[in-house]
A and B are shown apart, each in its own frame.
Chain A
Amino acid sequence: MGRRGSSWGAAVSLAIALAGVPAFARHIQKKFRVGSHPVVTLRNSSGKVTIHSWPKPEVQLAADPRSDKVEVDAGQQGNMVEVTTHLLTDNITPSELEADIQLTVPEETELSIHNDSGEVDIQKLLGDVSVETVAADANLEGVTGYITVHTVGGTFTCNQCSGRIEANSISGAINLLDSESSNVQVRTSTGNIMLDSDLLPNGLYQLRNYSGQIDVLFSPSDSFDVTAISMRGRVENEAKLKQSPRPSHHLPPFARSLIGQLNEGKARLIINSFSGTILIRRRP
Chain B
Amino acid sequence: MNCKEFENQTEQWMEGVRSAEAHGHHLACDRCRALVEDLEAIRLAAPLLAEEVAPPERLWASIRGEIDHEMFVPQWMDGVRTAEAREHLTVCERCRNLVEDLDQIRAVAPQLARELAPPPRLWASIRAQLEREELIRQPSWWESLAGWFPAPSWRLAASTAAVLALAAVTIVLSGRNPRVQPKSPDWLSTDQPELASVDIQLNHVERRAIRSLHTDDPAVGDTLEQNLAIIDRQIALCEKTLEQTPADENTSDYLYDAYRQKADLLTMIAERSGVPTE
Contacts and interface: CB of A to CB of B under 8 A. Distances in A.
The finding on whether chains A and B are genuine partners in a shared complex, rather than unrelated, reads yes
B10 interface: no
Contacts of B227: 152-153, 170-171, 189
Contacts of A204: 27
Q: A interface, by DSSP: helix, strand, loop or mixed? A: loop
Contacts of A252: 245, 248, 250
A272 B215 CA distance: 34
Contacts of A210: 234, 254, 257-258
Interface stretch (A48-56, A89-97, A102-110, A216-224): A89-97
A42 B254 CA distance: 33
Contacts of B261: 170, 189
B231 A97 contact: no
Interface in B202-231: 215-220, 222-224, 226-227, 230-231
Interface in A132-153: 134-135, 152-153
B27 to A, nearest CB: 6
B181 interface: no
A272 B226 CA distance: 23
A215 to B, nearest CB: 20
B223 A274 contact: no
Given A171-B230, A202-B27, A229-B250, A97 B223 contact: no
B277 A189 contact: no
A275 B240 CA distance: 14
Nearest to A92: B216
Contact of A45 (B217, B241, B258): B217
Interface in A224-252: 229, 231-232, 249-252
A255 interface: yes
Contact of A134 (B248, B257, B268, B274): B268
A97 B217 contact: yes
Contacts of A275: 237
Given A90-B277, A170-B231, A189-B261, A152 B217 contact: no
Nearest to B255: A274
Given A171-B226, A229-B250, A94 B219 contact: yes
A46 interface: yes
A189 B224 contact: no
A116 B223 CA distance: 10
B223 A152 contact: yes
Given A170-B261, A171-B226, A231 B251 contact: yes
Given A189-B230, A252-B245, A117 B257 contact: no
A108 B277 CA distance: 43
B234 A189 contact: yes
B223 A153 contact: yes
Interface in A201-221: 202, 204, 208, 210
A19 to B, nearest CB: 25
A11 interface: no
Nearest to A273: B254
Nearest to A268: B27
A247 to B, nearest CB: 9
Contacts of B234: 189, 210, 274
30 contacts: A90-B274, A90-B277, A94-B217, A94-B218, A97-B216, A97-B217, A116-B215, A134-B223, A134-B268, A135-B222, A152-B224, A152-B227, A170-B227, A170-B231, A171-B226, A171-B227, A189-B230, A189-B261, A202-B23, A208-B257, A210-B234, A210-B257, A231-B241, A231-B248, A231-B250, A231-B254, A232-B241, A252-B245, A274-B237, A275-B237
